[in-house]
């Protein structure tokens, strides 16, 4: 099961976090890491985020983009309006747009824009606006720089990771995911949880320190379970959340409560939301979902032996739910009556794992470079 936000291999270079200022690293280059990190450092690179966590990316050429999933591609032509795909949490406000031609990878992928390091420093929002993310397999150490305002450049667009992560190369997906997670965390962690004083950013963006009481805080993620429930006929359960826009269906999900094990959360959420009792629960995989700070833990779950596949929605969070055969789901998607989860979400990978391959192309085109 391929998970777009669990790809890539990064060396976090932890020793550098405590001794090297990221902006200084961009100005001085690899020499700033001499004697600090082990192994070769072949270069230092920067990429940009705006205050909301959108990324500066190089758009595809040719006015179209291919959605890369398990070798499949969905063509989205520039003269065709896109119907945007909501995230796992749903999106009640669909927006339409068209991809304009830009300058980037002509093979249909999207890549982060890496400006010259000194230019990135000049664009930084402030002295604490740079975060040391890590070293990729080619030996390059990468610094994420938060800018006050999106930079306008030919061929550059500002994209939300939740829509475009599946188009990024593996290591860039990992870089972007960690950077977005840090930006989202800093937006919510400006004050000390112990005494209320404004905190300072430390450890190259990976901690905050309270100057008043000395409390150190670290980035955190909130675990949530997400489950593909199947019945004795091997049909999958999909549901529509009352907060989602019409037509979008996904698998069930919910946060793990304090002191609760994830597999217990699976059983509780399914029972609460659709009134079904599950038996066997099997871990499938996990990926971060930094919007703002979730860790999605995926499971498959089978109905308890002998229990009826009678769905009773709670009517509050879930307003519709039903089981689908593979044929029924494919037909609903192809006809445009049902929108499946987007290709960045773990929910999409889970449904395709059950389906046995990529889902059919939907008449509603996906705009992975939407601005929201």
Q: Is 222 helix (H, G, I), strand (E, B) or coil?
A: strand
User: Are the beta carbons of 54 and 150 closer than 8 angstroms?
Assistant: yes
Helix (H, G, I), strand (E, B) or coil at 152: coil
Which residues touch 214 (CB under 8 Å, ≥6 apart)? none
Residue 106: pLDDT over 60: no
* Axis-axis angle for helices 326-334, 346-355 (nearest 10): 130
Q: What percent of the chain has pLDDT over 70?
A: 86
70 pLDDT higher than 90: no
Q: What is the pLDDT of residues 291-332, one digit of tens each?
A: 999 999 999 999 999 999 999 999 999 999 999 999 999 999
Token pair 């690899």: residue: 30
Where does the pLDDT of residue 371 fall: very low under 50, low under 70, confident under 90, or very high at 90 and above?
Answer: low
d(CA 251, CA 239): 6
The DSSP code for 154 is: T
Q: Mean of the pLDDT values across residues 111-129? A: 94
Q: What is the Cα–Cα distance from 156 to 137, expressed in whole angstroms?
A: 25
Which tens digit of pLDDT belongs to each residue from 129-147?
999 999 999 999 999 999 9
Residues 6+ apart with CB under 8 A from 7: 170, 171, 173, 174
- Looking at residue 127, its pLDDT comes to 83
Strands, E assignment, 136-241? 140-146, 156-159, 200-202, 207-209, 216-217, 222-230, 236-241
Cα of first residue to Cα of last residue in the chain, in angstroms, is 27
Q: How far apart are CA 349 and CA 2, in angstroms?
A: 7
3 state DSSP class of 310: coil
Give the rounded percent of residues in the chain with a pLDDT score beyond 90: 79
The pLDDT value recorded for residue 80 is 26
How would residue 93 be classed by pLDDT, with cut points 50, 70 and 90? very low
Question: Phi then psi for 248, rounded to 5 degrees?
Answer: -90, 125
pTM assigned to the model: 0.86
Tokens 């450890």 identify what position?
A: 203
Q: Are 310 and 237 in contact (CB under 8 A)?
A: no
Answer positive or negative: Cα dihedral of 195, 200, 202, 208. Answer: positive
Summary mean pLDDT of the chain: 87
């Amino acid at each position: 099961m391929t998970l777009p936000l669990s790809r890539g291999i990064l060396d976090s270079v932890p020793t550098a976090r405590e001794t090297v200022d990221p902006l200084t690293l961009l100005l001085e280059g690899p020499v700033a890491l001499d004697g600090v990190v082990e192994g070769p450092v072949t270069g230092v690179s920067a990429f940009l985020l705006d205050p909301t966590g959108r990324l500066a990316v190089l758009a595809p050429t040719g006015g179209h983009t291919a959605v890369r999933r398990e070798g499949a591609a969905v063509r989205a032509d520039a003269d065709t309006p896109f119907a945007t795909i909501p995230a796992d949490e749903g999106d009640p406000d669909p927006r339409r747009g068209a991809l304009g031609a830009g300058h980037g990878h002509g093979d249909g992928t999207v890549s982060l824009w890496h400006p010259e390091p000194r230019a990135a420093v000049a664009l930084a929002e402030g002295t604490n606006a740079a975060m040391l993310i890590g070293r990729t397999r080619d030996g390059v150490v990468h610094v994420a720089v938060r800018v006050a305002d999106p930079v306008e450049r030919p061929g550059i667009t500002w994209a939300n990771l939740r829509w475009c992560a599946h188009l990024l190369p593996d290591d860039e997906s990992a870089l972007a995911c960690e950077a977005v997670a840090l930006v989202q965390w800093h937006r919510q962690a400006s004050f000390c949880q112990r005494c209320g004083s404004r905190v300072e950013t430390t450890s190259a963006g990976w901690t905050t320190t309270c100057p008043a009481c000395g409390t150190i805080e670290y980035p955190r993620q909130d675990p949530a379970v997400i489950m593909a429930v199947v019945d004795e006929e091997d049909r999958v359960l999909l549901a529509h959340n009352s907060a989602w826009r019409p037509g979008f269906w996904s698998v069930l999900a919910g946060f793990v409560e304090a002191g609760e094990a994830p597999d217990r959360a699976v059983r509780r959420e399914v029972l609460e939301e659709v009134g079904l009792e599950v038996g066997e629960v099997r871990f499938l995989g996990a990926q971060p979902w930094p919007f703002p700070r979730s860790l999605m833990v995926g499971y498959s779950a089978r109905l308890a032996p002998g229990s009826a596949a009678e769905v009773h929605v709670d009517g509050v969070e879930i307003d519709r739910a039903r089981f689908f055969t593979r044929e029924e789901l494919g037909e609903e998607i192809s006809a445009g009556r049902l929108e499946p989860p987007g290709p960045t979400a773990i929910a999409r990978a889970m449904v395709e794992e059950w389906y046995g391959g990529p889902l059919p192309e939907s008449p509603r085109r996906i705009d992975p470079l939407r601005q929201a």
